[in-house]
Homo-oligomer: A and B are copies of this chain.
Amino acid sequence: MNKSRFEAFSDGVFAFGITLLVLGFTLPELHQPTDRDLTAALIRLWPNLIAYALSFGVIGIMWQNHHAIYRLVRRIDRMTVFLNLLLLAATAFIPFATSTLGAYPTMHASTFLYGLTLTWAATAYNLVLSHLVRSGAFAENVSPETIAATVRAYRIGWAGYATAALLALWLPVVSFATYLAIALYYLIPRGIDSDIEPA
């Protein structure tokens, strides 16, 4: 295995996981529906649309983070592959957590499951990062400051997802709104550090 095939496999799982989100939309069986019935059935899917947008953003962010980390890395050992599988397993699980959230947007169980899934992904990212730091896998031209800032940012992200997940045990709708707020915060491009070098 080399780094480019490691990245291509991960990209494949991100791209398939993000596309499978569409399976969260299903129409109930309608027997001889009028146009009014179909309109009503489609409109009732609006929580699914919000959950779809949320998870599209979340997987999009995870994919960007994956790139941001691995372009600094020069060596991939078996532990990295193992921890990366843990991360991809969380990613591939998101379509199920999303369709459950879309179907039951105001319940404790569904909002907590969603938060658990994101916390699982964030935990995997933190474990990967610790391992990369410990094993000296970063390229030589990566400054210790960059690494320290990344580690800090990932801890904060983990704390945000875990807090929102716990919130689901008391206030499911607030928890759902917090997931949206976190995703928007990370998605919206902000001033500095926003450029990506050409291929």
Residues of A within 8 A of B (CB): 1-9, 11-23, 25, 27, 33, 35, 38-39, 42, 52-53, 56-57, 60, 63-64, 67-68, 71, 74-79, 81-82, 85, 88-89, 92-93, 95-96, 100, 103-104, 107-110, 113, 187-189, 194-199
Residue of B nearest to A40 (CB): B109
What is the CB-to-nearest-CB distance from A97 to chain B, in angstroms, rounded to a whole number? 9
Residues of B within 8 A of A103 (CB): 27
Name A18's contact: one of B25, B76, B92 (CB within 8 Å): B92
Q: Kindly state the separation between the CA atoms of A103 and B41 in the bound complex, as whole angstroms.
A: 14
A198 and B3 form a contact (CB under 8 A): yes
Query: Considering the chains assembled together, what is the distance between the CA atoms of A62 and B4 in angstroms?
Result: 18
| A107 → chain B closest CB, angstroms | 5
- Beta-carbon contact of B79 and A38 below 8 Å: no
**Residue of B whose beta carbon sits closest to that of A60:** B85
Query: Do A107 and B22 touch (CB < 8 A)?
Result: no
B2-A52 in contact (CB<8A): no
Q: Is A78 in contact with B189, judged by CB distance below 8 angstroms? A: yes
Interchain CA distance A194-B68 in the complex, whole Å: 24
- Residue from B60, B75, B194 in contact with A198 in the complex, judged by beta carbons closer than 8 Å: B75
Distance in angstroms from A110 CB to nearest chain B CB is: 6
Q: Are A107 and B187 in touch, CB under 8 angstroms?
A: no
With beta carbons under 8 angstroms apart, the residue of B11, B23, B89, B100 that contacts A56 is: B89
